[in-house]
A and B are shown apart, each in its own frame.
Chain A
């Protein structure tokens, strides 16, 4: 497949200066490197075996790629079409580079014509070693690392990390810090769901939805840029509070965002919700029952679409969510359309919450006034030696966190985002494990895809809303 020798030079970007006309220095080394890079990506045991080479027990396990339902709900063996011969089915590979796998997700699909039988998601193509990196960074720097996991809602990652650190530290946050965090989290939910609606619309063929979704999202992102300095990966919510106060005039910005997005959600209703083709493509597609969802540890809009009214903001409130008035959106059938309408209505609920937060935002400090944890304001560094020393210590060595372990979970736009942190008394976490909702939700994919058409597979993957950054970490 690699055509000619000049390809080997493609891997050598620096001119070699060892000898005259030294274009081809180390060609054999480059050939070997190019060969290694061009090698087939063989997944070994990850491949789906042909039917003839898997026994009945293995096939039964492979329904839903290793799904064991709780007792009393065993899958009927007759339902597994073990008798199909190999000639009838085709095992194809989808991804990791594919326009609709929402990142680098690879799926091995067994197809019978257009019908999907078995599925095996293969992940790891975006593994970044973030949990290992988290052990090398201090708690102050940790938010920069964690924020890049779920890159569609970075502030929620930072929030869960900061909450875990504060639980270990035992600090109490001032109310304004808490409410600013809530405001940011809800705005983040709006932008993440808008992004989801954009990509979901695109996957179902509606490119206008893609443009609309991004248009609204830009408004939210420009507010984020005004407040945090960045459009994405903000490093704004840090242990101890937030990095900076809200800018002057933020209420007007937030009002404009709320009014515009709320009005536009009704435009989306016109565009998508009532449209017959959209309804046909999403209703009764990708059904999931509540028992299956709970057995698979699925959370978030997928769990709510099956009828289970579980939303951590309501049932196990964190920050000050118990002081806000909002509804938890619950579906009935567990199909794609339920998940779509849950997310659309969650946008509306979040707007409602943002309006309440903007009305009731307390005044005060935006970060805890503990000098060991919070760096001093920059102006004080010129005046006070103590402030300078604290600033120095916090940003070089970091603050020490007492020994302990904690698991904190919040409701991210994708589900339960948890952080299990173990500290050993130093300034860096001993173990920082993030429970990514998409990682767990992907286990539902084989169950959702089974029996559907190939075109539905694309729609179902999109409605599961995986973000590979938090799947692979």
Chain B
């Protein structure tokens, strides 16, 4: 049966809210710090820009125990298969934040050695620009991700454009838009 057949109705609404609340309040990141952005990611984990208040200070080394992969840094050609392998080892639900311009688009290194954006390899949920993004930017990205989890479908498959359980609309109509403004009043 599985969650794909989940019906949305007034009975399941509260349950879905509970599941999404649980998911977004303890997103555990996998350590995937590659370069300079990794240092800013560590700063976010440290005391001044604490992500422990968001429940995320446990950076899991094992991808099996992680929900979120923050790709922090430039991905070289040699590293790309490793990235994909780690992403595959993570279990659903999983999200990816592409931190920094090198991870998002290749950044200032438009050459033979750097993959021009990790979205060539893994589906990305949130892009955080900056070189490196300051910790506040990364926190904004994380909170955006929380909003996305809060308003998204419970069975939203990363990378698919048509939500499960809805009529196919030709594949190009976007789903219920994910809220991107952090200050959305509750």
A and B associate = yes
Question: Are A231 and B134 within 8 A (Cβ)?
Answer: yes
Number of interface residues of A (CB under 8 A): 58
Question: Are A103 and B38 within 8 A (Cβ)?
Answer: yes
- Return the contact of A96 from the options B82, B157, B171 (Cβ within 8 A): B82
Is B10 interfacial (CB 8 A cutoff)? Answer: no
Per-residue CB contact flags for chain B residues 136-177 toward chain A (1 = under 8 Å, else 0) read 000000000000000000000111111000001011100000
Question: Are B80 and A231 within 8 A (Cβ)?
Answer: no
Per-residue CB contact flags for chain A residues 6-35 toward chain B (1 = under 8 Å, else 0) read 110111110111001111000000000010
Is B54 interfacial (CB 8 A cutoff)? Answer: no
- List B contacts of A22 (CB < 8 A): 170-171
- List B contacts of A11 (CB < 8 A): 120-123, 159
Question: Are A127 and B76 within 8 A (Cβ)?
Answer: yes
- List A contacts of B161 (CB < 8 A): 15, 23
- List A contacts of B123 (CB < 8 A): 10-11, 13
Is B79 interfacial (CB 8 A cutoff)? Answer: yes
Question: Are A195 and B39 within 8 A (Cβ)?
Answer: yes
How close is A13's CB to chain B, nearest CB, in angstroms? 5
- List A contacts of B162 (CB < 8 A): 23
Once A10-B159, A126-B34, A232-B132 are accepted as A-B contacts, the answer to whether A1 and B46 lie under 8 Å apart by CB is: no
- Return the contact of A126 from the options B76, B81, B134, B159 (Cβ within 8 A): B76
Determine the residue in chain B with the shortest Cβ distance to A212.
B47
Question: Are B36 and A151 within 8 A (Cβ)?
Answer: yes
- List B contacts of A7 (CB < 8 A): 88
How close is A101's CB to chain B, nearest CB, in angstroms? 10
Is B179 interfacial (CB 8 A cutoff)? Answer: no
Determine the residue in chain B with the shortest Cβ distance to A147.
B36
- Return the contact of B31 from the options A39, A97, A144, A469 (Cβ within 8 A): A97
Per-residue CB contact flags for chain A residues 437-473 toward chain B (1 = under 8 Å, else 0) read 0000000000000000000000000000000110010
- List A contacts of B59 (CB < 8 A): 99
Question: Are B35 and A469 within 8 A (Cβ)?
Answer: yes
Question: Are B113 and A99 within 8 A (Cβ)?
Answer: no
- List A contacts of B121 (CB < 8 A): 11, 37
Per-residue CB contact flags for chain A residues 111-131 toward chain B (1 = under 8 Å, else 0) read 000000000000011111110
- Return the contact of B74 from the options A38, A39, A128 (Cβ within 8 A): A128
How close is B1's CB to chain A, nearest CB, in angstroms? 16
Question: Are A38 and B159 within 8 A (Cβ)?
Answer: no
Question: Are A128 and B31 within 8 A (Cβ)?
Answer: no
- Complex CA gap A214/B168 in Å reads 50
Once A37-B121, A124-B78 are accepted as A-B contacts, the answer to whether A132 and B112 lie under 8 Å apart by CB is: yes
How close is B47's CB to chain A, nearest CB, in angstroms? 5
List residues of B whose CB falls within 8 A of some A CB.
31-36, 38-40, 42-43, 46-48, 59, 61, 73-74, 76-82, 84-86, 88, 108-109, 111-114, 119-124, 131-132, 134, 157-162, 168, 170-172
Beyond A21-B170, A98-B61, A127-B78, 20 additional contacts (C-beta under 8 Å) are A2-B88, A6-B157, A6-B160, A11-B122, A17-B171, A17-B172, A21-B168, A41-B78, A41-B82, A97-B31, A103-B33, A103-B34, A125-B82, A128-B113, A129-B114, A133-B111, A211-B46, A218-B43, A218-B48, A232-B132
CB pairs A–B below 8 angstroms (14 shown): A6-B157, A13-B119, A16-B171, A23-B160, A37-B84, A37-B121, A38-B81, A125-B78, A126-B79, A132-B112, A195-B39, A210-B46, A215-B47, A468-B35
